[in-house]
């Protein structure tokens, strides 16, 4: 039984981390080599085991300060208040601009009428 | 009820909460925060490597999610969308930290296993192997750690990882390749070498 052949083993060792995402990277010759090579089989088993352990960490939570959730909600309250204040201020500003525009238009209209009457 | 049914039910409830929150129901958004904060914090901690930054990242992630919820189309899970935001915030935080101070990595990461019943394969892995992986992860440079955490723990695609970290897809793949190699070296080769060392000592002692 083959235990190691330097060139394919080195090349495959370099390929192993990427095989976890794309097993199609292996040629049939590579697969045949791995089927006979204990070194490559062990290497592949290590990476697969590593991936399995990493995936299992998804179900483990890092302990957090239980007060964090209240801080997060308070932060959201402040953001919502700021947003509401900003909206009110924007609406007020829009109203003032609208009023100013209407006043300017009115004054302009009066001036135009007055000018026309004078010239008539 | 089977674990898969519980997960499906949970997902359905999450969908309802997301829809209500998107319609402006603040209490629904608060409920989403209460359901997801521990998970979001775990991801933030794994990406930043310390509690202080993880808190900041969480706060920023929920603020961005709150502001951007109307843009969430619902074609991905809410949690996946939140992971993307958290990854993006952590990337920004790490960039800021790099400019201000040196890396400080916490190797003594303590863990709570909250759902062992739905993880039979993971449960069978030895606790010492998990510890070794955790320590090796914490010892990785932040750029390498980020891609391996997002890909191998949180199952995000290369494209999503690249987009949230602000790098190209090929750069994300190169970093992942390096990270997995380093983890394999740290977790297996070192312990195997140490094991051989112990055997030699035992043999000499006999």
Residue B98's CATH number: 1.10.1740.10
Q: In the structure, what pLDDT confidence band is assigned to residue A106 with cuts at 50, 70 and 90?
A: confident
3-state secondary structure of B44: helix
Tell me the average confidence (pLDDT) per consecutive run of 10 residues in chain B, 206 residues long: 59 87 92 94 94 94 93 84 95 78 41 46 70 93 95 95 95 96 91 62 53
pLDDT in tens, A55-69: 999 989 999 998 999
Residues of chain B with C-beta less than 8 angstroms from the C-beta of A65: 51, 55
Assess if residue A98 is contained within a domain: no
Distance CA A79, CA A93 (A): 21
A47 inside 8 A of chain B by CB: yes
pLDDT for res B97: 73
**Where is B169: in which H helix or E strand?**
helix B169-184
Please indicate, yes or no, if residue A42 is contained in any of the structural domains: yes
Taken in order B17, B21, B25, B28, the sign of the CA dihedral is positive
Q: Does residue B97 sit in the same domain as residue B134?
A: no
Q: Which domain holds residue A20?
A: 2-59
ipTM above 0.90, yes or no: no
What domain range is B39 assigned to? 10-102
Q: Answer yes or no: is B115 within a domain.
A: no
Give the closest residue to B176 by CA, choosing from B160, B158, B188: B158
- B133 vs A contacts (CB less than 8 Å): 50, 53-54, 57
Residue A85 lies in a domain: no
Q: Would you say residue B160 lies in a domain?
A: yes
Q: Kindly state whether residue B109 falls inside one of the protein's structural domains.
A: no
Instruction: Answer whether residue A87 is part of any domain.
Output: no
What is the per-residue pLDDT for B91? 92
Whether A54 contacts B176, CB under 8 Å: no
**B186 in a structural domain:** yes
* Residue B146 Cα, gap to closest chain A Cα (Å): 13
Residue A25 lies in a domain: yes
The pTM (predicted TM-score) of the whole model is: 0.73
Task: Give pLDDT, residue B56.
Answer: 94
Structural domain contains residue A119? no
The pLDDT tens digits of the residues spanning A32-85 come to 999 999 999 999 999 999 999 999 999 899 999 989 999 999 999 988 887 777
Domains in chain B: how many in total?
2
- The arithmetic mean of pLDDT across residues A23-31, rounded, is 91
Closest Cα to residue B10, out of B41, B25, B32, B40? Answer: B32
Q: Are residues B69 and B32 in the same domain?
A: yes
For chain A, the average pLDDT equals: 86
B87 in reach of chain A (CB within 8 A) = no
CATH, residue B162: 1.10.10.10
Asked whether residue A99 is domain-assigned, the answer is no
Mutation pick from A13, A17, A74 vs chain B, by most beta carbons of B within 10 Å, is A17
Classify residue A52: in a domain, yes or no: yes
Q: Is A89 on the interface with B (CB under 8 A)?
A: no
Kindly state whether B159 is in contact with chain A, defined as any CB-CB distance less than 8 angstroms. Answer: no
Specify the pLDDT at position B47: 94
Residue B5 in any domain: the answer is no
Tokens of B112: 């709570």
Task: Give me the pLDDT at residue B111, please.
Answer: 42
Supply the pLDDT for residue B2: 55
Contact A18 B187 (CB under 8 A): no
Q: Rounded CA gap, B58 and B77, in Å?
A: 18
Q: Could you tell me the pLDDT band of residue A11, with boundaries at 50, 70 and 90?
A: very high
For residue B156, tell me if it sits in a domain.
Answer: yes
**Count of domains observed in chain A:** 1
Is residue B113 assigned to a domain?
no
């Amino acid at each position: 039984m083959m235990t190691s052949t330097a060139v394919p083993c080195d090349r495959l060792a370099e390929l192993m981390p990427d095989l976890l995402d794309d097993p199609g990277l292996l040629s049939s010759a590579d697969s045949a080599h791995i089927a006979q090579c204990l070194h490559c089989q062990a290497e592949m088993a290590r990476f697969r085991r590593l991936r399995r352990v990493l995936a299992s960490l998804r179900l483990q939570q890092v302990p957090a300060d239980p007060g964090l959730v209240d801080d997060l909600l308070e932060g959201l309250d402040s953001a919502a208040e700021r947003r509401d204040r900003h909206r009110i201020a924007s609406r007020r500003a829009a109203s003032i601009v609208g009023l100013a525009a209407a006043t300017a238009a009115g004054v302009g209209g009066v001036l135009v009428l007055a000018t026309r009457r004078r010239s008539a | 009820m089977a674990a898969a049914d519980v997960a499906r039910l949970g997902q359905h409830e999450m969908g309802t909460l997301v829809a209500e929150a998107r319609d402006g129901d603040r209490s629904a958004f608060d409920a989403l925060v209460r359901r997801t904060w521990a998970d979001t914090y775990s991801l933030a901690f794994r990406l930043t490597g310390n509690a202080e930054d993880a808190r900041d990242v969480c706060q920023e992630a929920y603020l961005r999610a709150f502001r951007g919820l109307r843009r969430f189309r619902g074609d991905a899970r809410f949690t996946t969308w939140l992971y993307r935001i958290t990854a993006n915030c952590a990337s920004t935080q790490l960039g800021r930290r790099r400019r201000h101070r040196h890396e400080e990595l916490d190797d003594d990461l303590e863990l709570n296993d909250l759902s062992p019943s739905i993880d039979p394969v993971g449960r069978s892995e030895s606790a010492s192997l998990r510890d070794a992986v955790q320590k090796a992860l914490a010892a990785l440079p932040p750029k390498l750690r980020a891609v391996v955490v997002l890909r191998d723990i949180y199952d995000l695609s290369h494209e999503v990882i690249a987009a949230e970290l602000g790098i190209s897809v090929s750069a994300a793949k190169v970093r992942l390749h390096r990270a997995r190699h380093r983890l394999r070296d740290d977790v297996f080769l070192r312990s195997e070498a140490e094991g051989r060392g112990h055997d030699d000592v035992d043999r000499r002692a006999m």
